[in-house]
Amino acid sequence: AQSVTQLDSHVSVSEGTPVLLRCNYSSSYSPSLFWYVQHPNKGLQLLLKYTSAATLVKGINGFEAEFKKSETSFHLTKPSAHMSDAAEYFCVVSDRFLSGGYNKLIFGAGTRLAVHP
Amino acid sequence: DTAVSQTPKYLVTQMGNDKSIKCEQNLGHDTMYWYKQDSKKFLKIMFSYNNKELIINETVPNRFSPKSPDKAHLNLHINSLELGDSAVYFCASSQDAGTSGTYEQYFGPGTRLTVT
């Protein structure tokens, strides 16, 4: 079965310092992986996605993530945090072969990122 | 123009009532979804429709009934509302159901349902 584990429920950083949000996944075949961001009282916005092309994926707002199959990880990073990055971040896996060929997204529990001045 | 829209944004109602949430997408996508986000922010898929056909139906009480009049609309009707139905419900759409690749899903702004 597919699953996603976000290793930190809360992460707090100072503005201008690096951000690391950790994600491990479990999937039998070659999954597709996503990071979504949810700002307070807003919908979900796609940050980036991995679909078996380059293992280092660049997204919007300076975020990037690296797919490491040997570690079954897809950690999200950003070199320098901005106040506007404060939000809830979700790591998501989709494995069509385990979902009858359909795009069924399995969400992690989320990581709340706080950014301090 | 909003890509995926939902109405209403907020819905407060009493136990036992029946209510509907509407969703529309103007992206020309074939596939639409309903998700439930609970009070701990956990998101879980409920249903998915592809070209008006139900393709994913998770273990959801049959008080919840989705309806897709056309591929741009997916509505969610809930009968006999219970306290535990209080949550944020998100609609989403994707290019297709996954038959030709894995496509990202685009989410609506959510509908916050409060049952008292």
Tens digits of per-residue pLDDT, A46-72? Answer: 999 998 778 899 999 999 999 998 999
Which distant-in-sequence residues (6+ apart) come within 8 Å of A46 by Cβ?
A34, A35, A36, A59, A60, B104, B105, B106
Q: Are A5 and A93 in contact (CB under 8 A)?
A: no
Report residue B12: phi and psi, to 5°: -115, 125
Cα separation, B74 vs B80, in Å, equals: 20
Tens digits of per-residue pLDDT, B9-27? Answer: 999 999 999 999 999 999 9
Q: What is the pLDDT of residue B111?
A: 97
Residue of B nearest to A42 (CA): B109
Q: Which residue has the tokens 């591929």?
A: B71
A104–B48: do the CB atoms touch at under 8 Å? yes
Cα separation, A89 vs A60, in Å, equals: 13
**Average pLDDT value over all residues in chain B:** 92
Take residue A38 and report the two structure tokens written for it. 């949810």
Cα separation, B72 vs B24, in Å, equals: 6
Q: Which residues of A touch B2 (CB under 8 A)?
A: none
Chain A within 8 Å of B98 (Cβ-Cβ)?
A: yes
Whether pLDDT at B58 is above 90: no
More confident residue, A94 or A116: A116
More confident residue, A74 or B100: A74
A88–B31: do the CB atoms touch at under 8 Å? no
Enumerate helices (H) and strands (E) in chain B, giving the number of each.
Answer: 0, 11
Q: What is the pLDDT of residue A94?
A: 85
Cα separation, B110 vs B35, in Å, equals: 9
Tens digits of per-residue pLDDT, A15-52? Answer: 999 999 999 998 767 788 999 999 988 889 999 999 87
Q: Are A41 and A64 in contact (CB under 8 A)?
A: no
Q: What is the pLDDT of residue A98?
A: 64
